[in-house]
Each structure stands twice: as structure tokens, then as C-alpha cells.
Amino acid sequence: MDVHQLRMLVTENPVFRSYMFYTAILTLKMMFMSLLTIRQRVMHNSFVSEEDAMYLKGMVSRTNEHVERVRRGHRNDMENIYLFFVIGFAYTWTDPSPFFANLLFFIFTVSRLIHTCVYTVVIMPQPIRGRAWLVGFLVTGYMAIRTLLHFFGIWCFIYIARKPRKDVRNDKYTFIPALVKKCGESVLCKMVNTTSSAGPPDSVLTLNNPAFGVYLISACLLVLKMMGMSLLTIYNRFKYKAFICPEDAKWLQGQVVSNDTVERVRRAHQNDLENIPIFLAAAFAYLWTQPPAWLAWVLYLGFTILRALHTIVYTLIVLPQPTRALLWVAGYLLTGYMAVHAALHVFIYLIM
């Protein structure tokens, strides 16, 4: 790992240092949501488990609005802050301006704090909460797209800009095939490499490692996919005028009511939350086993495609089972394989 690549990750890098700081703040903020949920349950004697109600002399209730509001706020954090954790890490590898990166991290953190305050602590009418959510959403989206563009590269546009006009004119029928060929050769060269995707262990987290590169690309795609789930939920709430909070219904002239289509999208989003974060953790650990480059491409992009198909057959083009179940099982097995492989790799290393 050369000096430049090493600087991308160590704390001397101001961008990564800023990322760690705001990640810690957001972690504490989410921990606070757990405490706030406990406080609301105890204060209103509303518990979800019989043993809790018996121990604290309360009652079993799953419909207390004070508790459910905090739980919705907590879930909204999970739907947004987890994505920031992932994309913020990937964004640090694009070598952004320290000032601009710090500004993005700061804006996202403040927007999430405001969102929680006006949602659960001092309830404010819409669109205050919606705007706070939107600001954080746009920051995450910008970083995801910026990171994708960085890793896919924009050298094709540079190629066009630098090529003399007459060459472009004379080459207009061969430019696109040549560009595709060049890109394909670059990708295939990395994919067919049957040797370890990295050299020594200290060269795993380097952009010269094709496995790490495809990990970052897959992470960006999965983040954008989960952001799409948030937009799909909002779209269906607007379409059916079915809202979960009184202030939302009042602002948009809808009703506080459950809708089957909205709930289906929310279940698919919940399924993403149950599967994508653990995939990203297992896939990151799997990098340290130094797998063949082609296998890393198959596993990482394979999981990404499976999750996209799972969402499509769950929410957009509803197909009968076991279609969705098979897609889920395939992704589940990929994650399990990487987790077991990484665990065995470390275990063998420790006992050798």
C-alpha cells in the first residue's frame, strides 16, 4: 500500500477523521433513541412482552401512540443513518475536499438531530420534519452518486474532450465500440484474475485491489436501492393518501390509515434492513481473506442483483411464491458463505 492509499484511511486524513467524528455522534444519537423508547414504555406502562409488563406492573400494548412515535423515529434513523455510515466511508475514498466533506457530514448530522427533535421530542407541524429528512436524503444521495461516478470513472468524457474534432468526426462510427472494448478489457482483466485479489494483508484496502473496488461500487448501488425504497414508500403514501402521523395527514389532506400497498413496500424495506447491512459487514470481512477477483465480483454484484430482483417481485411486479423466497435464500446463502469463510480464515490464522 503506497503512501497515498494509506493516507486515505488513517486518522491523519482530515476527511476520514471527520467521518469518524460524525459517525460517533450519530451512533450516540441512535443509542439515545433506545433510551427514549424505554422511557416512553415505562412512563405510559405500555410494553410489548408479557414478561416486561409483569416485571414492571404495566400492561401489554402495541398501539400506544407515544411509544410508537418514538419507534417510528428510531426506524427512520435506521433507514437513513445506516446508509450514511456506508456511503460516508465509501465517499472518503474519492479524495474529496476536506472542507466540503466536513460540511456534508455536518449537514447530515444536524438534519437527523432536527428530524428526531421535531418528530419525537417537540412535535412540530409538517413540512418541518419532511424538510429535515429531505436534506439528509439529498446529502446521502449526492455522496452515493459522486462515489459511483468516481469509481466508474469519467475518462470516456475526457477522451471525447481531448480528441481533436476531426478525429471525433472521422471516428464517430468506431468510437463507441472502441470505448466499450477498452472498458470491457479493463473489467475482464480484473475479473479473470484467478490469483488473490490483493497482495499482502496491508494492501486489502486499496483502490488497486479490484475486490475492494467492487465492494465500494456494490455498497453504493445498495445504498441507492434502499433510498429508492424510501421514495417508493412516500410515493404510495401520497398516492393513496394513507399516512401514519396526524401532522402528515393534516398537511396533505389525507387520513391516518393503514394501506396494503404502503405496508407491502414497508415490509420490503424492512427486509432490506434485515439483510443488506449484514451483507456489507460480511463482505467487508471477506475482503481480508483475499479472494480471487472474479469470485469477489460474482458474490458482491450477485447479491446486489438478487436484492434488486427481490424488491421488484415484492413491490412492483408481485409474483407468486416461491419466486421471492428463492431470491432471498440465494442472497442469504451468499452472505452466510462470506461470513463463515471470513470467520474460518481468522480462526485458522489465530491457531497457526
Give the DSSP letter string of 68-129. HHHHHHHHHHHHHHHHHHHHHHHHGGG---HHHHHHHHHHHHHHHHHHHIIIIIS---TTHH
Average pLDDT over residues 303-314: 97
Domains 1-152 and 214-352 in one fold? yes
The string of pLDDT tens digits covering residues 65-84 is 889 999 999 999 999 999 99
The pLDDT of residue 156 is: 43
> Which positions ≥6 away from 16 have C-beta within 8 Å?
8, 9, 10, 92
Positive/negative CA dihedral, 184, 186, 191, 193: positive
Which pLDDT band holds residue 158 (cuts at 50, 70, 90)?
Answer: very low
> Which CATH fold topology does 1-152 show?
Four Helix Bundle (Hemerythrin (Met), subunit A) (1.20.120)
Per domain, the residue ranges of the chain are 1-152, 214-352
- What would the pLDDT profile of 222-235 be if each residue is shown by its tens digit? 999 999 999 999 99
Lowest mean pLDDT, pick from 98-102, 118-122, 192-196, 305-309: 192-196
Assess whether pLDDT exceeds 90 at residue 198: no
45: left (phi over 0), alpha (psi -120 to 50) or beta: left
Is beta strand 46-47 parallel, antiparallel or unpaired with respect to 59-60? parallel
Question: Which carries the bigger pLDDT value, residue 163 or residue 91?
Answer: 91
Per-residue pLDDT at 63: 83
**Who contacts 47 (Cβ-Cβ below 8 Å, separation ≥6)?**
41, 53, 56, 58, 59, 60, 61
Classify domain 214-352 by CATH architecture.
Up-down Bundle (1.20)
Within the chain, residue ranges assigned H as helices are 3-7, 14-43, 50-55, 65-91, 98-116, 128-152, 155-162, 165-170, 175-191, 210-240, 246-252, 260-287, 293-311, 323-351
C-alpha cell of residue 177? 465500440
